[in-house]
Amino acid sequence: MARVLSVGITTLDIINQVAAYPSEDDEVRALSQVQRRGGNAANLAVVLSQLGHTVDFAGVLINEPDLALILTEFDQYQIGYAHCPRLQTGKMPTSYITVSSLNGSRTIVHVRDCPELTFDQFAAIDLSGYDWIHFEGRHVPETKRMLAYVAQHHPHLPRSVELEKPREGIMSLTEQASLVMCSKPFAQAMGHNEPESFLQTLTLDNVTCSWGEAGVWGKSAQQIYNVSAVPLNKVVDTLGAGDSLNAGLIHGFLQNNTLRDSLIFANQLAALKCQQHGFSGLGRILDSHHD
Protein backbone atom coordinates (compact mmCIF):
# COMPACT_ATOMS: atom_id res chain seq x y z
CA MET A 1 0.00 0.00 0.00
CA ALA A 2 0.95 3.69 -0.05
CA ARG A 3 2.66 6.07 2.34
CA VAL A 4 0.54 9.14 3.14
CA LEU A 5 1.19 12.39 5.03
CA SER A 6 -1.87 14.09 6.55
CA VAL A 7 -1.40 17.76 7.49
CA GLY A 8 -3.77 19.60 9.85
CA ILE A 9 -4.84 19.39 13.47
CA THR A 10 -5.64 16.77 16.05
CA THR A 11 -7.91 17.41 18.98
CA LEU A 12 -9.23 16.01 22.22
CA ASP A 13 -12.91 15.21 21.64
CA ILE A 14 -15.19 15.12 24.69
CA ILE A 15 -18.37 13.47 23.41
CA ASN A 16 -21.67 13.54 25.29
CA GLN A 17 -24.33 11.14 23.98
CA VAL A 18 -27.87 12.40 24.67
CA ALA A 19 -31.31 11.04 23.84
CA ALA A 20 -32.08 14.10 21.70
CA TYR A 21 -30.42 17.48 21.24
CA PRO A 22 -31.61 19.75 24.09
CA SER A 23 -33.48 23.00 23.71
CA GLU A 24 -31.81 26.21 24.83
CA ASP A 25 -31.61 26.52 28.63
CA ASP A 26 -32.49 22.82 29.09
CA GLU A 27 -30.70 20.66 31.63
CA VAL A 28 -30.39 17.06 30.44
CA ARG A 29 -28.54 13.95 31.54
CA ALA A 30 -26.01 12.44 29.15
CA LEU A 31 -26.46 8.78 28.28
CA SER A 32 -22.69 8.41 28.12
CA GLN A 33 -19.49 10.39 27.84
CA VAL A 34 -16.29 9.37 26.09
CA GLN A 35 -13.02 11.11 25.39
CA ARG A 36 -11.07 10.31 22.27
CA ARG A 37 -8.72 11.79 19.71
CA GLY A 38 -10.30 13.84 16.94
CA GLY A 39 -9.50 16.42 14.28
CA ASN A 40 -10.12 16.09 10.54
CA ALA A 41 -6.58 15.34 9.39
CA ALA A 42 -6.06 12.93 12.29
CA ASN A 43 -9.37 11.14 11.67
CA LEU A 44 -8.49 10.76 8.00
CA ALA A 45 -5.11 9.32 8.98
CA VAL A 46 -6.71 6.74 11.27
CA VAL A 47 -9.12 5.58 8.56
CA LEU A 48 -6.41 5.37 5.88
CA SER A 49 -4.24 3.34 8.23
CA GLN A 50 -7.05 0.80 8.61
CA LEU A 51 -7.28 0.60 4.82
CA GLY A 52 -3.72 -0.68 4.77
CA HIS A 53 -1.69 2.48 4.20
CA THR A 54 1.30 3.77 6.16
CA VAL A 55 0.26 7.18 7.47
CA ASP A 56 2.07 10.03 9.20
CA PHE A 57 0.39 13.05 10.79
CA ALA A 58 1.89 16.55 10.71
CA GLY A 59 0.47 19.13 13.09
CA VAL A 60 1.40 21.03 16.24
CA LEU A 61 1.29 19.13 19.55
CA ILE A 62 1.29 20.66 23.04
CA ASN A 63 3.11 18.84 25.83
CA GLU A 64 0.26 18.81 28.36
CA PRO A 65 -1.75 16.01 30.03
CA ASP A 66 -4.41 15.66 27.31
CA LEU A 67 -1.75 14.83 24.73
CA ALA A 68 -1.28 11.37 26.26
CA LEU A 69 -4.70 10.14 25.12
CA ILE A 70 -4.12 11.48 21.61
CA LEU A 71 -0.73 9.80 21.25
CA THR A 72 -2.08 6.54 22.65
CA GLU A 73 -4.64 6.44 19.84
CA PHE A 74 -2.02 7.37 17.26
CA ASP A 75 0.07 4.46 18.49
CA GLN A 76 -2.97 2.15 18.45
CA TYR A 77 -3.52 2.85 14.75
CA GLN A 78 0.20 3.08 13.92
CA ILE A 79 0.05 6.75 12.94
CA GLY A 80 3.50 8.33 12.83
CA TYR A 81 3.89 11.71 14.53
CA ALA A 82 7.65 12.28 14.42
CA HIS A 83 7.12 15.33 12.16
CA CYS A 84 4.98 17.13 14.76
CA PRO A 85 6.49 20.18 16.51
CA ARG A 86 6.11 19.95 20.30
CA LEU A 87 5.37 23.12 22.29
CA GLN A 88 5.60 23.58 26.05
CA THR A 89 2.86 26.21 26.39
CA GLY A 90 -0.75 26.23 25.28
CA LYS A 91 -3.44 23.55 25.21
CA MET A 92 -4.40 20.84 22.76
CA PRO A 93 -7.48 21.89 20.79
CA THR A 94 -10.59 20.53 22.48
CA SER A 95 -14.00 19.85 20.92
CA TYR A 96 -17.06 19.50 23.15
CA ILE A 97 -19.47 17.40 21.10
CA THR A 98 -23.13 16.61 21.69
CA VAL A 99 -24.35 13.55 19.76
CA SER A 100 -28.09 12.94 19.47
CA SER A 101 -29.25 9.32 19.72
CA LEU A 102 -32.46 10.36 17.97
CA ASN A 103 -30.86 11.12 14.60
CA GLY A 104 -27.08 10.81 15.00
CA SER A 105 -26.47 14.55 14.63
CA ARG A 106 -23.36 16.05 16.21
CA THR A 107 -23.07 19.61 17.51
CA ILE A 108 -19.57 20.88 18.22
CA VAL A 109 -18.13 23.68 20.37
CA HIS A 110 -14.41 24.01 19.68
CA VAL A 111 -11.81 25.58 21.97
CA ARG A 112 -8.19 26.07 20.94
CA ASP A 113 -4.98 27.56 22.30
CA CYS A 114 -2.64 25.94 19.80
CA PRO A 115 -0.94 27.46 16.74
CA GLU A 116 -1.20 26.04 13.24
CA LEU A 117 1.70 24.26 11.57
CA THR A 118 3.89 26.82 9.79
CA PHE A 119 5.38 26.60 6.32
CA ASP A 120 8.91 26.44 7.73
CA GLN A 121 7.95 23.49 9.94
CA PHE A 122 6.37 21.72 6.97
CA ALA A 123 9.32 22.42 4.66
CA ALA A 124 11.63 20.65 7.13
CA ILE A 125 9.86 17.33 6.41
CA ASP A 126 11.49 14.97 3.93
CA LEU A 127 8.69 14.31 1.44
CA SER A 128 10.63 12.03 -0.87
CA GLY A 129 9.16 8.80 0.53
CA TYR A 130 5.48 9.75 0.33
CA ASP A 131 2.91 8.71 -2.26
CA TRP A 132 0.22 11.24 -1.28
CA ILE A 133 -0.09 14.40 0.85
CA HIS A 134 -3.40 15.60 2.27
CA PHE A 135 -4.04 19.10 3.65
CA GLU A 136 -6.84 20.47 5.75
CA GLY A 137 -7.85 23.83 4.28
CA ARG A 138 -7.18 25.77 7.44
CA HIS A 139 -4.52 28.51 7.73
CA VAL A 140 -4.74 29.65 4.12
CA PRO A 141 -1.52 31.68 3.67
CA GLU A 142 0.73 28.97 5.14
CA THR A 143 -1.13 26.08 3.50
CA LYS A 144 -0.91 27.81 0.12
CA ARG A 145 2.87 28.03 0.52
CA MET A 146 3.01 24.35 1.47
CA LEU A 147 1.07 23.32 -1.64
CA ALA A 148 3.26 25.48 -3.87
CA TYR A 149 6.36 23.98 -2.27
CA VAL A 150 5.19 20.43 -3.00
CA ALA A 151 4.24 21.35 -6.56
CA GLN A 152 7.66 22.87 -7.17
CA HIS A 153 9.90 20.32 -5.46
CA HIS A 154 7.79 17.15 -5.84
CA PRO A 155 5.61 17.84 -8.91
CA HIS A 156 4.56 14.20 -9.34
CA LEU A 157 3.41 13.83 -5.71
CA PRO A 158 -0.43 13.91 -5.56
CA ARG A 159 -1.92 16.34 -3.05
CA SER A 160 -5.48 16.70 -1.81
CA VAL A 161 -7.15 19.60 -0.03
CA GLU A 162 -10.26 19.58 2.13
CA LEU A 163 -12.46 22.69 1.97
CA GLU A 164 -14.85 22.40 4.89
CA LYS A 165 -15.35 25.99 6.07
CA PRO A 166 -15.21 29.27 4.13
CA ARG A 167 -12.05 31.25 4.88
CA GLU A 168 -10.59 34.30 3.22
CA GLY A 169 -8.72 33.29 0.07
CA ILE A 170 -9.36 29.58 0.55
CA MET A 171 -10.15 28.90 -3.11
CA SER A 172 -6.52 29.74 -3.89
CA LEU A 173 -5.61 26.41 -2.27
CA THR A 174 -7.19 24.59 -5.19
CA GLU A 175 -4.64 25.92 -7.69
CA GLN A 176 -1.98 23.33 -6.78
CA ALA A 177 -4.25 20.45 -5.69
CA SER A 178 -4.73 17.12 -7.44
CA LEU A 179 -8.00 16.42 -5.62
CA VAL A 180 -10.29 18.94 -3.91
CA MET A 181 -12.89 17.76 -1.38
CA CYS A 182 -15.69 20.18 -0.49
CA SER A 183 -18.39 19.97 2.16
CA LYS A 184 -22.07 20.88 1.92
CA PRO A 185 -21.66 23.86 4.33
CA PHE A 186 -18.77 25.13 2.21
CA ALA A 187 -20.81 24.98 -1.01
CA GLN A 188 -23.73 26.69 0.71
CA ALA A 189 -21.43 29.43 1.99
CA MET A 190 -20.36 29.93 -1.61
CA GLY A 191 -24.02 30.63 -2.47
CA HIS A 192 -25.14 27.22 -3.76
CA ASN A 193 -28.04 25.16 -2.45
CA GLU A 194 -27.35 22.07 -4.52
CA PRO A 195 -24.03 20.39 -5.31
CA GLU A 196 -24.24 20.13 -9.09
CA SER A 197 -24.53 23.88 -9.61
CA PHE A 198 -21.61 24.38 -7.24
CA LEU A 199 -19.40 21.94 -9.14
CA GLN A 200 -20.36 23.51 -12.47
CA THR A 201 -18.91 26.83 -11.32
CA LEU A 202 -15.50 25.25 -10.69
CA THR A 203 -12.90 24.82 -13.42
CA LEU A 204 -11.10 22.21 -11.33
CA ASP A 205 -10.53 18.62 -12.35
CA ASN A 206 -11.13 15.95 -9.69
CA VAL A 207 -13.32 17.84 -7.24
CA THR A 208 -15.96 16.35 -4.94
CA CYS A 209 -18.78 17.70 -2.81
CA SER A 210 -20.48 15.68 -0.08
CA TRP A 211 -24.14 16.42 0.60
CA GLY A 212 -25.01 14.41 3.69
CA GLU A 213 -27.98 12.09 3.31
CA ALA A 214 -28.33 13.07 -0.37
CA GLY A 215 -25.00 11.42 -1.21
CA VAL A 216 -21.82 12.72 -2.80
CA TRP A 217 -21.06 14.42 -6.12
CA GLY A 218 -17.84 14.62 -8.08
CA LYS A 219 -16.52 16.20 -11.26
CA SER A 220 -13.71 14.94 -13.47
CA ALA A 221 -12.92 15.93 -17.06
CA GLN A 222 -16.09 18.09 -17.07
CA GLN A 223 -18.21 15.01 -16.28
CA ILE A 224 -20.34 15.23 -13.12
CA TYR A 225 -21.11 12.06 -11.15
CA ASN A 226 -23.54 11.46 -8.31
CA VAL A 227 -23.56 8.54 -5.89
CA SER A 228 -26.64 8.31 -3.68
CA ALA A 229 -26.19 7.84 0.03
CA VAL A 230 -26.42 4.28 1.30
CA PRO A 231 -29.85 3.76 2.96
CA LEU A 232 -29.39 3.22 6.70
CA ASN A 233 -31.90 1.76 9.12
CA LYS A 234 -30.23 3.54 12.03
CA VAL A 235 -27.75 6.42 12.10
CA VAL A 236 -25.61 5.96 15.22
CA ASP A 237 -22.86 8.58 14.95
CA THR A 238 -22.08 10.93 12.05
CA LEU A 239 -18.99 12.39 13.76
CA GLY A 240 -16.09 11.80 11.37
CA ALA A 241 -18.24 10.58 8.47
CA GLY A 242 -16.85 13.28 6.20
CA ASP A 243 -13.29 12.39 7.17
CA SER A 244 -14.04 8.74 6.42
CA LEU A 245 -15.47 9.74 3.04
CA ASN A 246 -12.34 11.73 2.20
CA ALA A 247 -10.10 8.86 3.30
CA GLY A 248 -12.06 6.56 1.01
CA LEU A 249 -11.58 8.94 -1.91
CA ILE A 250 -7.82 9.07 -1.37
CA HIS A 251 -7.72 5.28 -1.06
CA GLY A 252 -9.54 4.97 -4.37
CA PHE A 253 -7.13 7.29 -6.14
CA LEU A 254 -4.16 5.46 -4.65
CA GLN A 255 -5.63 2.27 -6.13
CA ASN A 256 -5.78 4.03 -9.54
CA ASN A 257 -9.57 3.86 -9.54
CA THR A 258 -11.71 6.31 -11.49
CA LEU A 259 -13.32 9.21 -9.66
CA ARG A 260 -16.73 7.52 -9.94
CA ASP A 261 -15.48 4.22 -8.49
CA SER A 262 -13.66 6.13 -5.74
CA LEU A 263 -16.90 7.96 -4.91
CA ILE A 264 -18.79 4.66 -4.64
CA PHE A 265 -16.22 3.16 -2.26
CA ALA A 266 -15.93 6.34 -0.18
CA ASN A 267 -19.71 6.59 0.11
CA GLN A 268 -19.94 3.03 1.43
CA LEU A 269 -17.13 3.70 3.90
CA ALA A 270 -18.87 6.82 5.23
CA ALA A 271 -22.10 4.83 5.63
CA LEU A 272 -20.24 2.18 7.61
CA LYS A 273 -18.87 4.90 9.89
CA CYS A 274 -22.35 6.35 10.48
CA GLN A 275 -23.52 2.98 11.83
CA GLN A 276 -20.98 2.85 14.67
CA HIS A 277 -19.34 4.94 17.35
CA GLY A 278 -15.73 5.87 16.61
CA PHE A 279 -13.45 4.57 13.88
CA SER A 280 -12.35 1.14 15.08
CA GLY A 281 -12.86 -1.68 12.61
CA LEU A 282 -13.57 0.37 9.49
CA GLY A 283 -10.95 -1.63 7.63
CA ARG A 284 -13.44 -4.50 7.45
CA ILE A 285 -14.91 -2.79 4.38
CA LEU A 286 -11.98 -4.24 2.44
CA ASP A 287 -13.39 -7.72 3.06
CA SER A 288 -16.05 -6.97 0.44
CA HIS A 289 -13.84 -4.88 -1.86
CA HIS A 290 -10.82 -6.20 -3.67
CA ASP A 291 -9.30 -3.03 -5.13
Q: What is the tens place of the pLDDT at every residue in 81-112? A: 999 999 999 999 999 999 999 988 889 999 99
* Residue-wise pLDDT tens digits, 13-54: 999 999 999 999 999 999 999 999 999 999 999 999 999 999
- Percent of the chain exceeding pLDDT 90 equals 91
Mean pLDDT of 266-289: 93
Q: Is 275 exposed, middle or buried (0-12, 13-18, 19+ CB in 10 A)?
A: middle
As a whole number of angstroms, the distance between CA 66 and CA 148 comes to: 34
* pLDDT for residue 247: 99
- The whole-angstrom separation of Cα 46 and Cα 34 is 18
Residue 240 has pLDDT above 60, yes or no: yes
Contacts of 193 (CB under 8 A, 6+ apart): none
Q: List strands edge to edge, sheet with 32-38.
A: 32-38, 11-18, 91-100, 106-113
CB atoms inside a 10 Å sphere around CB 227:
19
Domains of the chain in start order, with CATH, are 3-23+30-288 (3.40.1190.20)
Render pLDDT for 189-217 as a digit per residue (tens, 0 to 9): 999 999 999 999 999 989 999 998 899 99
Q: Which residue stretches of 27-117 are H helix?
A: 40-50, 67-76
DSSP designation for 128: T
- Taking the model in full, what pTM does it have? 0.95
Name all contacts of 27-31 with Cβ < 8 Å and 24+ positions apart: 31/101
Tell me the three-class secondary structure of 166-190, residue by residue. Answer: CCCCHHHHHHHCCEEEECHHHHHHC
Please report the DSSP string for 116-152 in residue order. PPPHHHHHTS--TT-SEEEEES-SHHHHHHHHHHHHH
* Rounded distance between C-alpha atoms, residue 187 and residue 176, angstroms: 20
Q: Which residues does residue 91 pair with via DSSP β-bridges, in sequence order? A: 113
